Amino acid sequence: MIARYTRPQMGQIWSDENKYRMWLAVETAASATLAEDGIVPAEAAQAIRERGGFDIARIQEIEAEVKHDVIAFTTAVAEKIGPESRWLHYGLTSNDVVDTAQALQIKAASVLIREDLLALIEVLKQRALEFQHTPTIGRTHGIHAEPTTFGLKLLNWYAEMRRNLERFDAAAEQIRIGKLSGAVGTFGHLSPKHEERICEKLGLKPAPIATQVIQRDRHAHYISTLAIVTSTLDKIAVEIRHLQRTEVREAEEYFSEKQKGSSAMPHKRNPITTEQISGLARVVRANAQASYENVALWHERDISHSSVERVIFPDSTILTDYLLAKTTNLIEKLLVYPKRMLKNLESTGGLIFSGQLLLDLAEAGMLREDAYRLVQGHAMRAWKDDLVFRDLIKADPEITAKFNSEKLEHAFDLNRQLRNVDAIFERVLRG
């Protein structure tokens, strides 16, 4: 991933330096475990632990010749260790090291992403509580529907991000897996007990069964979860982009004092952060498709997945980390305009209470079909001629025959529509 979208801690996890360090950690844990059983000499395990090291330029130089990254790595490390290096990589195949080390990188990346998730969840909760009783118009199909509150919008996102946290925890745990079972997964040179102890040293669980590779359904699950997480961020961004439109302007991104929106139009305050979130979320979703393609491999192993994962795992975790931080900052600094929300809510002259009026007329004794025809007729006239729906209703003798003025006002009562907001908050936050 390009530096523009890479936060330092996450970028370091996917650096070549850290990748080789994780490879060396697997090699060192393996030699230490085998030394405990007398398979590898204790002095060799000590030499690997103390003198094992690498030079990236040297690894690249060797790989250019041998065309094999793990052999290039073990050769470069062996040069640092000396004669005891004959015990390096003992009983292992390349993917024992690569898959297990990648699990260590994903584990480290998951720690950062989980912290990001918790930070966004907390900000959404706080701002939802802040605007719990701030009325705004609810829109369906982009058209004014019935009243809601801005707090409920935020609470809905909060609840979804809580589900995303649960999904992510499950996916991260399912991929916290190592394997050291050999070339086709049969433990031809080590034993399952060795694998268990090596994985324990590394903070991983052993794969119950594998071929030469850990099965890629786990990896597809993980990337898919990142795609769902970032799709939620896209959902949040799309809503805010709509709310920031000039003719709506109920909320907008923070715009700093020295920020510029357009090279040609000085008045512009463009939603650049939310547009960036929407755009980059597409990349993570596309990577999920690539992860599905990696599930089907030939026989006990091919490497068609390997080149793909060199791209999709760094890019997906880096982007998820970046987008979560961006969205947290977006929500934390979001400019909210309750007066504009109320103005927009009232802009249709009470049309948004047509559903309540329909129910009240039915309750008062009018057939529902007759009530619907009557209310819709006034609603369509109000739309067409830009009239005040509330006034049309008050002037209709069929309706006023059913309602006194107090009952009519009750049909247009905003608080009546929003009387269950606290109950929704209590249900979500209790959960």
Can you give the pLDDT at residue 360? Answer: 93
Q: Does pLDDT of 267 surpass 90?
A: no
- Quote the pLDDT of residue 259: 78
pLDDT band at 93; cut points 50, 70, 90: very high
- Phi-psi bin for 309: left (phi > 0), alpha (psi -120 to 50), beta? alpha
Q: Which active-site residues does the annotation give?
A: 141, 262
* 242 pLDDT higher than 80: yes
The percent of residues above 90 in pLDDT, for the chain, comes to: 93
pLDDT confidence tier of residue 427, bands split at 50, 70 and 90:
very high
Q: What is the average per-residue pLDDT within 104-120?
A: 98
pLDDT at residue 198 greater than cutoff 90: yes
For residue 2, name the pLDDT band (cuts at 50, 70, 90). Answer: confident
Residues in the chain: 431
DSSP assignment of 136-156 equals: EEEEETTEEEEEEEHHHHHHH
- pLDDT score for 355: 95
Q: What is the pLDDT of residues 66-77, one digit of tens each?
A: 999 999 999 999
Residue-level pLDDT at 269: 87
CA atoms of 315 and 309, how far apart (whole Å): 9
Q: How many helices (H) and strands (E) does the chain have?
A: 19, 6
pLDDT band for position 46 (cuts 50, 70, 90) = very high
Report residue 346's pLDDT band, with 50, 70 and 90 as the boundaries. very high
Pairing relation of β-strands 251-252 and 135-140?
Answer: unpaired
Q: List C-alpha distances in Å: 356 to 350, 375, 413.
A: 11, 10, 9
φ/ψ of 178, rounded to 5, equals -115, 165
pLDDT interval class at 265 (50, 70, 90): confident
From 155, 92, 41, select the one nearest 427 (Cα to Cα).
Answer: 155
Q: Is the pLDDT of residue 268 over 90?
A: no
Least confident of 251-260, 352-361, 415-424: 251-260
The confidence score (pLDDT) of residue 382 equals 94
Q: What is the pLDDT of residue 263?
A: 74
Pair 226, 291: CB distance under 8 Å? no
Residues β-bridged to residue 251: 336
Judge whether residue 65 has pLDDT over 90.
Answer: yes
**Whole-model pTM over 0.85:** yes
CA 232 to chain CA centroid, Å, is 6
Mean confidence (pLDDT) of the chain? 96
- 219-244 mean pLDDT: 98
In the predicted structure, residue 299 carries a pLDDT above the cut 80? yes
Pairing of strands 205-206, 335-336: unpaired
Q: What is the pLDDT of residues 271-298, one digit of tens each?
A: 999 999 999 999 999 999 999 999 999 9
The pair phi, psi for residue 177, each rounded to 5°, is -130, 135
